[in-house]
Amino acid sequence: MSKIPTHNWTRYVLPFLLALFFGLLITIQSWFREPIGWAWYGLIWMTTVTYIIWESNLRISRWLNDRLNWNRQFYRRLFVQLLLSYLISTAIFVLSFILLNTYETQVLRTNNALSVAHLASSVVMGFMLTTFMNIYHIGYQILQVREEERLLAERYQRESISARLESLRQQIDPHFLFNNFSTLYGLIFEDQERAGAFLLKLSDIYRLVLQHLDRELVSVDEELKLIHAYCDLLAIRYGAALEIDIDLPEKLKSRQIIPFALQLLVENAIKHNQIETVHPLQIWVVYREGEGICVANNVVPRSSVPLSAGIGLKNLEERYRHRLGRSIAISRDRRQFAVIVPLLQEGA
């Protein structure tokens, strides 16, 4: 959260300059209402009050930083900060003015008794002083918020590009290619028709990957085309040892999702589990109302986990956090592992 600098020259110089300026205004004003003249204690009073109000505004801002965020609640934060600032600052100024006037009339006997005109002018002066401070305090914070948003957008853009490149890298990973080409090689000698189907599915996957690579969001319908092609490829490779059930309602097809999310989760299940005919790996892709799409699998743990295990899931989690401001939901126990990915409305 943006903070007003509290340990530089502005904290000491600006209040003093404001004190001089408003002290001059009060002196000029006194020529028309009180005995003409400027007392040394007047400058001390004005400087002290200005510093107190300045520090009070700093503490109001710090207190609100933990309660109202500029980025998410801009107008509410602006209203509350201005309201508290003017109420507290004006009250401090008026009360201190009353004390000063009492000192002058009761002790020094150099001023007129407190009147409505005195109070009205002190309210106006306190309001003006607070306005000058708010121009700096709130203006500085707004500029900082805008700068943070710009830096965050640039960071997200860099990380988004990196994530998309990582997704592509995973698809052309030598291990991935080696496994699929080995499967293709075996099929060529065993069943040329299945080998042809396998090659077509492999080409479909890369075509869809290239289509999605430069996009931050895709429709669920587009993602399903990729996941179906990928699952068909896996079915040719693993046969009855792998069971994948995709059951998503038609209403979801226009919703938006992070590219490669479902494919990555299916691939994650493949990487972390044994795939054997006697103990088939089962993967379910279903919709959970109000939560998102859930990709779950039964747990058939491998004896050894690949070195890259967990990287893809962490990458997906970061992409969701930066894009949606919320993350994926992961749950696991001895029998099942599940990940829920949120969805966006069409055009979001």
pLDDT recorded at residue 283: 96
136 plus 277 within the same structural domain: no
**Is residue 167 domain-resident?**
no
* pLDDT > 90: percent of the chain: 20
Last residue of some domain: 157, 180, 209? Answer: 157
197 plus 131 within the same structural domain: no
Per the structure, the count of domains in the chain is 2
Are 293 and 340 in contact, with CB atoms under 8 Å apart?
A: yes
**Is residue 238 domain-resident?**
yes
Mean pLDDT of the chain: 80
Distances (CA, A) of 123 to 51, 79, 115, 127: 17, 20, 13, 6
Q: Whole domain around residue 294: which residue ranges?
A: 172-341
Are 298 and 335 in contact, with CB atoms under 8 Å apart?
A: yes
CATH of residue 293: 3.30.565.10
Helices (H) and strands (E) in the chain, counts: 9, 7
pLDDT digits 0-9 by tens, 125-175: 888 888 888 888 888 888 888 888 888 777 777 666 666 656 555 554 555
pLDDT recorded at residue 39: 63
> Per-residue pLDDT for 345 more than 90?
no
pTM: 0.52
pLDDT recorded at residue 181: 74
Rounded Cα–Cα distance for residues 125 and 148 (Å): 35
